[in-house]
Structure 1
Amino acid sequence: MPPRPVHEPRRDDCPWCGSKRLRTRLRAPDLRHRRPGTFVVDECLDCAHAFQNPRLTAEGLALYGAEGEERSDRGHLRATARSMLPFPEPESWLDVGTGDASFPAAAKELFAYTAFDGVDPTPRVEWARAAGRLDEAHLGRLTAPEVLSRLRGRYDVVSMLHHLEHIRDPRRELAAALTALRPGGHLLVQLPDPASASAAVLGKWWTSYDQPRHLHLIPPANLRAELEAQGCEIVVTDRRTPHTPHDLATAASLYLNRTRLHRTARPLTALAAVLDHLLAPALRRTRFSNAYQVIARRN
Structure 2
Amino acid sequence: MSDEHEPEPQPEAQPGPSRAEQVAALRPAYQADLARGLDRFFEPERTTCPWCGSSQLKTRLRTTDLLQHKPGRFTLDRCQDCRHTFQNPRLSGEGLEFYYRDFYDGLGEKQLSNTFAGRTQMYRQRAESLLPFASAPKNWLDVGTGHGHFCESARTVYPGTAFDGLDFTDGAELAERAGRVERGFRGSFVELAPEVAGNYDVVSMFHYLEHSTEPGLELEAAHQAIRPGGHLLIEVPDPDSRYARLLGRWWLPWLQPQHLHFVPVANLRRRLTDLGFTVVAEQHAEPHDPVDLLAATWLALDAVAPRDDFPWQPERPNAFRRTLRGAMVLAGVPALVLGTLLDRFAVRPLSHRLGVSNAYRLLARRD
TM-score (structure 1 length as normaliser): 0.95
Any conservation in 2 of the 1:238–1:292 contact (CA below 8 Å)?
Answer: yes
**2:185 aligned with 1:138, yes or no?**
yes
Distance in 1, matches of 2:121 and 2:270, equals: 30
- The Cα RMSD (Å) is 1.6
How far residue 114 of structure 1 moved from its aligned partner, in angstroms, is 0.6
How far residue 53 of structure 1 moved from its aligned partner, in angstroms, is 0.3
Q: How does 1:276-295 map to 2 (within 5 A)?
A: 276-278=343-345, 279-295=347-363
Matched positions, count:
296
**Higher strand proportion, which one?**
1
Any conservation in 1 of the 2:58–2:78 contact (CA below 8 Å)?
Answer: yes
How far residue 123 of structure 1 moved from its aligned partner, in angstroms, is 1.1
Distance in 2, matches of 1:17 and 1:251, equals: 31
Which residue identity is paired with 1:256? L
Correspondence for 1:77: 123
Correspondence for 1:102: 149
Per-residue CA distance 1:141-184 (angstroms, 9 max, x = gap): 1112xx22332111111000000000000000111111110001
How far residue 285 of structure 1 moved from its aligned partner, in angstroms, is 3.7
The match for 1:115 among 162, 168, 177 is: 162
Distance in 2, matches of 1:202 and 1:224, equals: 27
Which residue identity is paired with 1:11? R
Any conservation in 1 of the 2:60–2:78 contact (CA below 8 Å)?
Answer: yes
The match for 2:50 among 1, 15, 19 is: 15
Any conservation in 1 of the 2:297–2:335 contact (CA below 8 Å)?
Answer: yes
**Higher helix proportion, which one?**
2
Correspondence for 1:222: 267
SS in 1 for 2:70: coil
Unaligned runs of 5+ in 2: 1-35, 105-111, 306-327
Q: How does 1:1-299 map to 2 (within 5 A)?
A: 5-65=40-100, 68=104, 71=116, 73-88=119-134, 89-144=136-191, 147-259=192-304, 261-278=328-345, 279-299=347-367
Q: Percent identity at matched positions? A: 44
Distance in 2, matches of 1:273 and 1:264, equals: 16
Distance in 1, matches of 2:233 and 2:353, equals: 20
SS in 1 for 2:253: coil
TM-score (structure 2 length as normaliser): 0.78
Which residue identity is paired with 2:358? N
Distance in 2, matches of 1:164 and 1:230, equals: 16
How far residue 87 of structure 1 moved from its aligned partner, in angstroms, is 1.7
Distance in 1, matches of 2:226 and 2:354, equals: 33
Distance in 2, matches of 1:136 and 1:262, equals: 42
Which residue identity is paired with 1:82? E
Distance in 2, matches of 1:138 and 1:285, equals: 39
Bigger Cα displacement from structure 2, 199-208 vs 257-266: 257-266
